[in-house]
Amino acid sequence: MSKIVAITGAGAMSECMRQINPDVVPAFPITPSTQVIEDFSQFVADGRVDTEMITVESEHSAMSACIGAAAAGGRVMTATSSAGMALMWEMLYIAASMRQPIVMTLINRALSAPINIHADHGDSMGARDAGWIQLYAENNQEAYDNLIMAPRIAEAMNVRLPVMVCMDGFIISHCVQTMQLEDDDRVKAFIGEFASTYPVLDTDHPATWGALDLQDYYMEHKRALHMAMKNSKTVIQNVSAEFADVFGRKYDLFESYRLDDADRVIVAINSVAGEIKEVIDERRDAGDRVGLLKIRVFRPFPYAEIAAALEGVKIVTVLDRSESMGGYGPLFCEIRAALFDAPERPLVYSRTFGLGGRELFMADIHDIFEENKRYLETGTVEKTADYLKVRGG
């Protein structure tokens, strides 16, 4: 039976993995994604899933085993965070380039050094060029729903790409929220049976995976991967529409929150969107025309759709929860690129916040709206890129 439960974000992911019942889960636990694997290993031990769980000696091995198991013909899932995914780096690209529909929960955490276990998006943003579809979530429910949809998206025959389901470390992974836990059978029915392509274990049809490409073919394979990523956009929309029909919760490539008639908009990813919505409601009550565009799908990036959604907006504040040292933040670069060809290009600027888990409170978000109000009145942005809440300015 579908029921309302109080559960942590990480707990919701392991429950979802139990419902999906993947063939293989190779994993190496790392804070703050540990609970996902901890709970799931209990399900394995208790015989509540049929999964072959492989406890590997590192994350590089975890992703290697994921690729091998997926190439062998199984539905494969894992989870990691931060340094764990950094150690997977080489294999992330191989998973995507070998077009294995692996589904991974990534609980966003800052990268060392200094060592820090709290939320920022440095891990997933660094992996944005690897060829993984990236879904982001504001809260436990969205993360859980994304994980239900992820295998459908990954396994679509015109996609066949790995999917990363992201949420903020601790803020979401370790905080108990109430959410709708769907019925096991309905989740299983929604996901369906796994269909493999050229499985290695099909010895009647031997195939070679991971062969060499020279100057003559490498570029064509990358071009094909890019096309799969483009195809995935429609697949994500279709799967989300079907999800809404079955489970009643609506998702798209991004969420438009009170964007109609908004002059000043914040673009953000993940948990901070919750506070931003509260602030927007307060300011809207006072007659302030502000809104939020919350990214759900960062790869593939919906440039045209975002440009259309932001049409008529006069100023856009992009909040990046990761830093590109010596460059602009990754979300800012995409939003600016999306808006460059807009008939009436709004002012667009970047504010980096929340690195290593530093909180952004509702008062801080009010300050952002006061700041962009001032910029809109004067018609100039003081600094194209700056930090929020860093001592020394």
Name residue, tokens 């066949």.
160
Among candidates 347, 346, 353, which has minimal Cα distance to 269?
Answer: 353
- Closest approach of Cβ 124 to other proteins, in Å? 22
- Single-letter residue type at 68: G
CA 31/CA 169 separation, integer angstroms: 8
Q: How far is the CB of 343 from other proteins (least distance, A)?
A: 34
**How many Cβ atoms are within 10 Å of 345's Cβ, its own excluded?**
12
Neighbours of 126 (CB within 10 A): 17
Instruction: State the minimum distance, in angstroms, from the CB of residue 204 to other proteins.
Output: 12
Cα–Cα distance for residue pair 272/368, rounded to 1 Å: 13
Q: What are the Cα distances from residue 284, in Å, to 151, 254, 348, 372? A: 38, 21, 21, 15
Least distance from C-beta 65 to other proteins, angstroms? 17
Nearer of residues 216 and 285 to other proteins, judged by Cβ: 216
Site mask, other proteins, residues 304-343, x = CB under 8 A?
----------------------------------------
In which residue are the tokens 């139990």 written? 18
Contact between 361 and other proteins by CB under 8 A: the answer reads no
Shortest Cβ distance from residue 297 to other proteins (Å)? 22
- Binding of other proteins at residue 100 (CB under 8 A)? yes
Q: Tell me the CB-side half-sphere exposure of residue 211, using CA atoms within 13 A.
A: 7
Distances (CA, A) of 300 to 231, 239, 349: 9, 15, 22
Among the residue ranges 84-92, 94-102, 142-150, 364-372, the one whose residues contact other proteins (CB under 8 A): 94-102
Instruction: Rank residues 217 and 340 by Cβ distance to other proteins and give the closer one.
Output: 217
Q: Which two tokens stand for residue 319?
A: 């909040």
Show the tokens assigned to 27: 């994993």
Q: What whole-number distance in Å separates Cα of residue 197 and Cα of residue 219?
A: 22
Residue closer to other proteins by CB (options 208, 380) is 208
Question: Rounded to the nearest whole angstrom, what is the least distance from the CB of residue 64 to other proteins in the complex?
Answer: 16
# chain residues binding other proteins, by CB under 8 A:
23
**66-85 binders of other proteins (CB under 8 A):** none
Binding to other proteins (CB under 8 A): which residues in 179-238? 197-198, 205-211, 213, 216-217, 219-221, 223-224, 227
Task: Note the residues at the interface with other proteins (CB under 8 A).
Answer: 97-100, 160, 197-198, 205-211, 213, 216-217, 219-221, 223-224, 227
